[in-house]
Every structure is written in C-alpha cells, then in structure tokens.
Structure 1
Amino acid sequence: MSTKEGYINVTGGKVWYQVHNEGADNTPVIILHGGPGSSHWSMQKLSALAVDRPVIFYDQLGCGRSDRPADPSLWHIDRFVEELHQVTEALHFDSFHILGHSWGTTLAAAFYLRHSKGIKSMILSSPCLSAPIWAKDQDRNREKLPLDVQKTLKECEANGTTDSEAYKEATKVFGSYFISRLHDFPDWLKEGRHYKNAEIYNIMWGPTEFHVTGNLKNFDCTEKLGSIDIPTLFTCGRYDEATPESTKYFSSLTPNSHFHVFENSAHMAYLEEQEEYVQVMKDFLNGIDESI
C-alpha cells in the first residue's frame, strides 16, 4: 500500500502531511488530531482505514513535523480553519470525509460551518463543541475522583501552585479516569511526546484541562449544529472527559446523525479499543460511500 508525504504552504508556514493508499477508489478521509498543539502521532494507527480509501494525516502548524513559527498571533481558530482549507485545496479534494478527535472536532465543526462544499460526512470523536459545556463536565468529572485528589486540585488552584508536583500527580489521576484507561502507554506513543507544543495549548485553551482561559473559552457551536445536513457520527468513551451525556446531546441537535459509545474507553478510544474503533469508523464511512 503506497504512502506519500510532503509539505503544504499555509498561512504562517508549512505543514507536514502524509497520504496512505493514494488513488484508492473510495472517498478519502482526512484526520484532524486533537490538541490544540498536539500532532497526528497518537492517531497514526488509523492508517488501518486505508484498506478501503486514502487516509490523510497532517500536523497542524506549530506542532509535530510542521513548522513552528514564533508568532503567538497565529494561534486562533480562524487561522486553523483557513489552514485546513488550504490543505484540502492543495490536495485537490473534490469530495472527502473528516474524522476529528477532541479539538479536532472543534476545528471540523468550525470548518464545516464555513467551507461545507465537498464534505461527504463527518466523524466527531470525543467532541468538544462547547467550551462552557466542557468546563462544566470537568467540574462534574472531578467530583468522581478520590477526595484527596479533589482536595489537592482545589488547593493548588487556590494557591496558584498548579506547576507543583502535587498538582501534576493529581492531574495524572484525572487522566487515568477520563483520558486513557490504558495501564501502560506503548513505547511508540511515548516517542511522540516531543511533537507537542504547550504554548499553543496554553494560548488557545489554558494551562489545564479543567479551566478554559484561552481564546477558545467562548467557543460554542451548539446552536448551529442543526445546520449540519451531512451524515455525522458522534462517538465517545463511556468514561470520556467528553462525556456520553454531552456527546449524545450534540448528536440530538444534529440532523442525520448517529451516536456510539465505546464501553471500555475514556478519551482515547482509538487506542483503548483500537480494533472496535477502526471497525466502527470503517462501517460508517463505507456505508456512506455505498449509499451514494
């Protein structure tokens, strides 16, 4: 199966991309990684979807193998929407699917609302479509943590010591509940940690998962979900920080949508239940292509 990679000029620099199974007959799917400021690295196993179609990964500007310009003014959602449009134009897509995860769903929704032409379907995996709803969900999730962990989080936040080891350890406990339930991260996943760019995350989201203080703090597209008229699949893990309740709510607002929960996963179902995740994605995408 062929693999090709290269760079695309976008506003602010060049982004790295990779295409698996270019030229396959079925409609390509473009993967939008989480973050902001993360990379495609943790999602690379989704190249398994290339058995049926072209699969495109790209690292958003500022992270991964893409350029890292020292210009904080670049880190806002409008530029990332423009960047995605530039990527799809450069790859000469007439029609394509989008699979976004976490922040990638924020980007996917914002992109659709501005550039819907050619998008055949969307998969919104562990969605973040409302920063205020996300923040409220994390307040509720924190109440499910051990009392001593809750206390540490609150005290460090009140004292301004969120850079302390105690706070970091407490957030690790949160992660083990709601981000990934894997006991051991595979070595290949650990190798990609240097691809992240914390500056982008801090500017757009904030210093922690819990409190949205960055320029995405008012992002909320729930009132516009009714205008999405393409097939859309919403998924999340049973223990996801993108909670099943909120994910189902987003799905209920979206015509022609489907909702699926990965019962043994938190936020990283594409790793925690890799085989089932890939199969659910394949079934959805193939069903869309076969219906047209």
Structure 2
Amino acid sequence: MAIQEGFIEVTGGKVWYQYHDSNSKKTPVIILHGGPGSSHYSLQGLRVLADERPVLFYDQLGCGKSDRPNDESLWTIDRFVEELGQIRKALSLDDMHILGHSWGTTLAAAYLLTIPEGVKSVIFSSPCLSAPLWAEDQERNRSLLPEDIQATLRECEQNGTTDSEEYQEATTEFNKRFVCRLDPFPEFLKQGAQYKNPVVYNIMWGPSEFHVTGNLKNFDCTARLNEIHIPALYTCGRYDEATPQSTEYFSKLTPKAKFHVFENSAHMPYIEEEAEFLKVIRAFLNSVE
C-alpha cells in the first residue's frame, strides 16, 4: 500500500496530510478529526480501512503536524470549511465519503451545507450539530457527577479559574464517564496531547467539553439537516457526551440517515470498541458505494 504524505497550502498556512492509497477503485474516505485544535492522532487506527479504499487524514491548521500561526482571526468555522475545500482541490478528490468525529461532524455539516459536488455519504461520529443542545446535554451529564466535583466545576467557572489544577482534575472525572471509559486510560492517548492546540480550542469552544464559551457557542444547523440528501450514518456511544438522544434526534432530521449506538463506549468508540466500530463503518461505506 502506498502512503503519500506532505503539506498543502491553505488560507493561513500549510496543512499536513497523509493519504493511504489502497489501489482500490472504491471511493476514498476523508477523516475530519475532533477538537477544534486536536489532530488526527487518536483516529489514526482508522487507517486499516485502507485495505478496502483510500483513506485521507489531515491535521487541521493550528494543530498536529500542521502550521500553528499566531493569528486568532483564523479560528472560525468558515475558514475551516474553506480549508477542507482547498485540501480536496489540491488532492483532486472529485468523489469522496466524509467521516467526521465530534467537532469534525460540525465541520462536515457546515461543509455539506455549501452543497459541494461529489460527496457520496457522510458519517457523523459522536456528533455536535447544535452547540446549545450540546450544552444542555452536558448540564444533565454534570448532574450525574459526585456533588463535590460539581461544586468544584461551578466554583472555577464562576471565579474564572478554569485553568486551575483543581478544575482540570474535576474535568478528568467528567472525561472518565463521558469521553473515554477505558481504565486505565490508554498511554497511546496521553502521548497525543502534544499535538493539541488549546488556544484554538478555547477560542472556538471554551475551557472544557461542557463549558461552551467560544465562537461556536451559537452554532446550530438542526434546521438545515433536511438539506443533506446523501446517505448519512449517525453513531455514538451509549455513555457519550454526544448523547444517544441527541444523536438519534439529528438522524431523524436527515432524510437518508441511519443511527447506531455502541453499547460499551463513551465518546471514543473507535478506540473503546475498535473492532465493532470498524465493522459498522465498513458495512455502511460498502452499502452506499
């Protein structure tokens, strides 16, 4: 299998990409990672999909192996949508499937609503398609935490000390329940922290998964999901911060959508239930090919 790697010039700098070419005639799938400001790092296991079709990873500008320009005006959803179009053009991806995870689903939906040609299907993995609804879901999730943890979170948010060690420790308790339930937490994931850019995350999202203060806080495309007419698969974990209730709600607003819950996962079923995740993704992609 040929692996092509390099950089693509986009608005604001250079973006790193890696293309796994399986010499298959099947349509490539492009992976849109989460964040904002994370990287493809945690999703790299999806490269095994390249035994059936080409797989494209890239690190969005500002994180991973891509440039990290010090220009806060770049961190908007419209620029990331533009970036995706520039990557697609540079690599001549006339036809493709999209697999977005978490913030990657926000980006996927915003891109699809520009009505691009040649996108054959979309996978919304643990979707965030309404920041206000996400915030409501996290309020409910927070209420399930021990009372002392809830109190610490509230106090730090009210006092503006969300960069404190106690806030980070309380956030870790949330993450153990609703982000990744593997215990011990995989060393592999700890090593990926270096690829994240907290500046991008803070500007666009906020200090934590559940305290939304950034420029995405009013993002909500639910009223336009009926405009997505390509086959769509919505997935989430049973304990996901992208809750099964909201994920199913989004799927019902999308004309050609399927819905699947990974019963033993939180927000990272592609790691928590890797074999099952790959099986479901493969089946969907092959069914719409």
The normalised TM-score by structure 2 is: 0.98
Per-residue CA deviations over 1:6-57 (Å, capped at 9, x if unaligned) read 1111101110000112532100000000000000000000001111100000
1:180 alignment counterpart? 180
Q: Distance in 1 between matches of 2:148 and 2:128?
A: 28
Q: Distance in 1 between matches of 2:119 and 2:72?
A: 30
Q: 3-state SS of the aligned residue for 2:210?
A: coil
Q: Distance in 1 between matches of 2:90 and 2:40?
A: 19
1:130 alignment counterpart? 130
Matched, 1:231 2:231: yes
Q: 3-state SS of the aligned residue for 2:60?
A: coil
Matched, 1:28 2:12: no
1:102 alignment counterpart? 102
1:51 alignment counterpart? 51
List aligned pairs for 1:83-122, cutoff 5 A.
Answer: 83-122=83-122
* One-letter amino acid matched to 1:112: L
* One-letter amino acid matched to 1:50: A
Q: 3-state SS of the aligned residue for 2:116?
A: coil
List aligned pairs for 1:1-292, cutoff 5 A.
Answer: 1-289=1-289
Q: Distance in 2 between matches of 1:5 and 1:268?
A: 26
Q: 3-state SS of the aligned residue for 1:35?
A: coil
* One-letter amino acid matched to 1:212: V
Shift of 1:151: 1.7
Shift of 1:115: 3.8
Q: 3-state SS of the aligned residue for 2:56?
A: strand
Q: Distance in 2 between matches of 1:114 and 1:227?
A: 10
Q: Distance in 2 between matches of 1:97 and 1:157?
A: 39
* One-letter amino acid matched to 1:8: I
Residues 132 and 218, structure 1, Cα contact 8 Å, conserved in 2: yes
The normalised TM-score by structure 1 is: 0.97
Q: 3-state SS of the aligned residue for 1:265?
A: coil
Per-residue CA deviations over 1:261-280 (Å, capped at 9, x if unaligned) read 00000001111000100111
What is the aligned length?
Answer: 289
Q: 3-state SS of the aligned residue for 1:14?
A: strand
Residues 22 and 52, structure 2, Cα contact 8 Å, conserved in 1: no
* One-letter amino acid matched to 2:121: S
Residues 163 and 207, structure 2, Cα contact 8 Å, conserved in 1: no
Q: Distance in 2 between matches of 1:196 and 1:18?
A: 18
Shift of 1:160: 2.7
Q: 3-state SS of the aligned residue for 1:15?
A: strand
Q: 3-state SS of the aligned residue for 1:69?
A: coil
Shift of 1:64: 0.4
Per-residue CA deviations over 1:194-224 (Å, capped at 9, x if unaligned) read 1100000011111122222111111100000
Distance 1:283 1:64, change over 3 A: same
Superposition CA RMSD, Å: 1.0
* One-letter amino acid matched to 2:247: T
Structure 2 residue runs without a partner (length 5+):
none
Shift of 1:142: 0.4
Residues 85 and 115, structure 1, Cα contact 8 Å, conserved in 2: no
Structure 1 residue runs without a partner (length 5+):
none
